[in-house]
Amino acid sequence: MIPVRTYRVLDRDYPHALRDLGSPPDPLCVRGELLGGPAVAIVGTREATAKALAFAHDLASRLAGRGVTVWSGGAVGIDAAAHRGALDAGGISVAVVPTGFDHCYPKEHRGLYDEIVEKGGAIVSPFQADQQPTFPAFHHRNAVLAAMTMATVVVEAPIKSGARSTAGAARRLRRPLFVVPYAPWETEGEGNVLELRRRATMVFDEVILCRLLGVPGGHAGPAGGRSPGTASPAAAGTTEVPSGLSPACSVVFYAASTTPRHTDDLCSKTGLAAALVQEALLTLTLHAVLVEGPSGWFRRLS
């Protein structure tokens, strides 16, 4: 059995990303290894459709195959599909659980958790060892999941869904939030539609995520052949963002076009706060990859 390591808020090696939370978990308990590098949370409903499960598995596999650590909440449904997709691709996964390590939730995932750790990932608990699965514990788990990753992807969520709690945490933390689009009459994706109305960014495959994270490569078509709710978009262009810039700069760069776009349009397209978009536009203009036109319009050089 791999021992559990306990981090306290005042420890020098306490994960810096968690300090963005109003109440960082103290202690943070970890079984396995917390590695650096790009990390994405993939979340969704427990009662997922078959197509959504396949999409989550394939998206996680593609990301893991490019060195991205796939995080999720360890639940049945979309969470489990994401963990399994990363492991099946020979990649790393991390599960943030809603209990202390004296308990396993859900019980049927004990084997999955062991495999995650054995293959180089980790199980993270933001609780004391005796914490039971409670409603507040799930929300706290979701906030930790959003804080510890560079972006959150909601694959499938009804209106009432824990995945939307994770999405809300990502929004409050100003972490990029991506949502698989659904038609408004598909009840299993009603939460997705609402998140898009709140200016989350649509995601069809791993390409935009790889660009955000600065990870090379990325398949031009949608993961699993098609997103659960819509047809695939045209393949993205090949222009690359300058290296060393922030994730927000990457998102804004690829949201821009050779056709001028207004700042408000870029805010809506990226789902980022206006201040972050303005800062990214200034940086990209200084790097001479965007050109500013009149009254807040910007275009890409190529």
Q: Tens digits of per-residue pLDDT, 239-287?
A: 566 666 777 788 888 888 888 888 888 887 787 778 888 888 888 888 8
- The SS3 of residue 177 is strand
Contact 111, 143 (CB under 8 A): no
The CA distance from 181 to 31, in Å, is 35
**How high does pLDDT run on average in the chain?**
87
The residues near 238 (Cβ < 8 Å, ≥ 6 apart) are none
Q: Is the model more confident about 88 or about 262?
A: 88
Residue 117: pLDDT over 50: yes
Whole-number pLDDT of residue 125: 97
The CA distance from 183 to 190, in Å, is 8
What are the tokens at 19?
Answer: 């300090």
CB atoms within 10 A of CB 52: 27
Contact 216, 66 (CB under 8 A): yes
Q: Is the model more confident about 166 or about 227?
A: 166
CB atoms within 10 A of CB 120: 16
What are the tokens at 240?
Answer: 């690359």
| pLDDT (mean) for 8-27 | 91
Q: Is the model more confident about 165 or about 261?
A: 165
| pLDDT (mean) for 7-27 | 92
Output DSSP code: residue 232.
Answer: -
Residue 96, phi then psi, degrees to nearest 5: -100, 115
The residues near 1 (Cβ < 8 Å, ≥ 6 apart) are none
Whole-number pLDDT of residue 248: 79
The CA distance from 93 to 119, in Å, is 8
Identity at 67, one-letter amino acid code: G
Residue 205: pLDDT over 70: yes
The stretches of 34-109 forming alpha helices (DSSP H) are: 50-65, 78-88
CB atoms within 10 A of CB 118: 11
The stretches of 13-72 forming alpha helices (DSSP H) are: 50-65
CA nearest neighbour of 22 among 179, 167, 144, 155? 144
Residue 151: pLDDT over 70: yes
Q: 3 burial class (0-12, 13-18, 19+ CB within 10 angstroms)? A: exposed
Contact 71, 145 (CB under 8 A): yes
CA nearest neighbour of 282 among 249, 233, 238? 249
Output DSSP code: residue 32.
Answer: E
The CA distance from 265 to 268, in Å, is 5
Structural domains of the chain sorted by starting position, each given as residue range(s) with its CATH number in brackets: 4-225 (3.40.50.450), 247-300 (1.10.10.10)
Beta strands per DSSP E along 138-268: 151-154, 177-179, 201-202, 261-262
- The helix-helix angle for 162-172 and 135-147 (nearest 10°) equals 50
Say what percent of the chain tops pLDDT 90. 57
| pLDDT (mean) for 110-127 | 97
Whole-number pLDDT of residue 243: 66
Residue 115: pLDDT over 60: yes
Query: Which of the four pLDDT bands, split at 50, 70 and 90, describes residue 108?
Result: very high
